[in-house]
Structure 1
Amino acid sequence: MNTIDEVVLSREVVTNVCEKGEPELSFNASEVMAKTRQNCVFIKIQDFYRKVMFKDILFLEASGSYCNIYLKDRTRFTVTHSLAETAGYLAEGPFLRVHRSFMVNLDYVDSYIGNLLYIGEHTVPIGRMYRKTILSGLNILGVRDV
């Protein structure tokens, strides 16, 4: 059995292990850390770090050498990294670059009209260079005139 000095287990990891009915809890610390990195990021806020789940991020907006992160609970964090650097910390899954200054979580796109995406009360522009990629990322059912 591996010994671990300090590991924070997510409820999902514990549930999965318990559901298997294994009498011994043996796991690799690096596997637990890799799983944690797949679904969250820690953001520094003054003197502490706050855990932010990827599923809670609506979109990211570049602001010079800073990046604003908008969450579904209407909070906004500003980090001292560029949009490109911040994107490197996110899982590839639902996040898509839609403009040189914006990256969105496709799970929260409510609608799009022309060159704008609507995410809740926010509007996000679609860059010309990104339009084809975005439209292929959305599952669009077209209407055909008969």
Structure 2
Amino acid sequence: MSNLRIYIVEDESLYANQLEMIVDELGYDLAGMSDNSDTAREQIVSLNPDLILVDVKINGSMNGIDLIASLDQNVPVIFITSFDDQATFNRAKSTNPYAYITKPFDAQNLQRTIELAFNSSTQPAEKKSEWEKDVVFENSFFIKTRNKLEKVAITEVLYLEVEDRYCTIFTDAGKKYVLRMSMGDVQDKLPSKEFMRVHRKYTVNLRKIKSIDTQDNLIYVNDAELPISRSHKEELLQKLEWLQ
């Protein structure tokens, strides 16, 4: 598991230091930072951060807007700038950023904007209400815990358990995360070739299975012993290409 990785592009040292401090205080990871567009573009491409905070007026061959327009990565972007004129805003808007924040800014507002940026940009429009607090982005879950979002790779997920209207994610690091949503909604976000529902209460990561007791209809995922329903057992064995 890792925290959200944020890249900062800011050429004013006062604001650069403030942004770096805010990112650290909020519990996020600083993927990198630069004061010019050329270095920033090279590093963003190689580091592949989860979010970019960028000033409009920066050093280098491009301004912040042109820098974002030149990137071929689907990464949430938040512009932080001293320019509040309509022309600059319209140019920035053409790059489809999540937000446009004018200086000065406060930590709480920035934190909320970052969380909403991930929430908004990583889910289909019709599903936004269901993922208000819990987000899936590419190959990871971004799950809100207290005042920050935690990044959990899908490959770290052992299994899911549903109870009433809550679905719990269990990871191989021994952690669990409770989501207020249905098993079906969570499973729709998972790769179908790697995850399978084996019981009305459980969905497992097929790559994490240690053994299967076909007589007692049990499946062992790390140290967990889970039941297999009869209706799912044959499909599971076929999916695992079980050989007699």
TM-score normalised per structure 2? 0.45
> 2: CA distance between counterparts of 1:91 and 1:14?
26
> 2: CA distance between counterparts of 1:98 and 1:109?
12
Tell me, yes or no, if structure 1 residue 64 matches structure 2 residue 108.
no
SS of aligned partner of 1:73: coil
Task: From the superposition, tell whether residues 39 and 134 of structure 1 become closer, same or farther in structure 2 (CA, over 3 Å).
Answer: same
| Alpha-carbon contact 1:94-1:107 (below 8 Å) kept | yes
Q: Which residue of 2 aligns with 1:132?
A: 234
More helix by share: 2
| Alpha-carbon contact 1:43-1:50 (below 8 Å) kept | yes
Task: From the superposition, tell whether residues 78 and 14 of structure 1 become closer, same or farther in structure 2 (CA, over 3 Å).
Answer: same
Deviations 1:101-122 (A, max 9, x none): 1000000100000211001110
Aligned length: 125
| Unmatched 5+ stretches in structure 2 | 1-7, 10-30, 33-42, 49-69, 77-120, 123-135
Tell me, yes or no, if structure 1 residue 76 matches structure 2 residue 151.
no
Paired amino acid for 1:62: V
Tell me, yes or no, if structure 1 residue 14 matches structure 2 residue 46.
yes
Deviations 1:38-91 (A, max 9, x none): 311111112221111001000000011001111001111111111111112222
SS of aligned partner of 2:226: strand
Offset of 1:15 from its aligned partner? 7.5
| Alpha-carbon contact 1:57-1:69 (below 8 Å) kept | yes
Counterpart among 73, 76, 80 of residue 29 in structure 1:
73
Task: From the superposition, tell whether residues 51 and 141 of structure 1 become closer, same or farther in structure 2 (CA, over 3 Å).
Answer: same
Deviations 1:92-140 (A, max 9, x none): 2311111111000000100000211001110111112211211111132
The structure, 1 or 2, with the larger RCO (C-alpha pairs under 8 Å, 6+ apart) is: 1
Counterpart among 100, 116, 130 of residue 218 in structure 2:
116
| Alpha-carbon contact 1:38-1:91 (below 8 Å) kept | no
Q: Structure 1 vs Structure 2: percent identity of aligned residues?
A: 28
Q: Which residue of 2 aligns with 1:21?
A: none
Paired amino acid for 1:112: I
Once the two structures are superposed, the pairs formed by residues 41-52 of structure 1 within 5 Å of their partners are: 41-52=141-152
SS of aligned partner of 1:104: strand
Structure with greater Cα Rg: 2
Paired amino acid for 2:192: E
> 1: CA distance between counterparts of 2:71 and 2:213?
48
Aligned-residue Cα RMSD (Å) equals 2.9
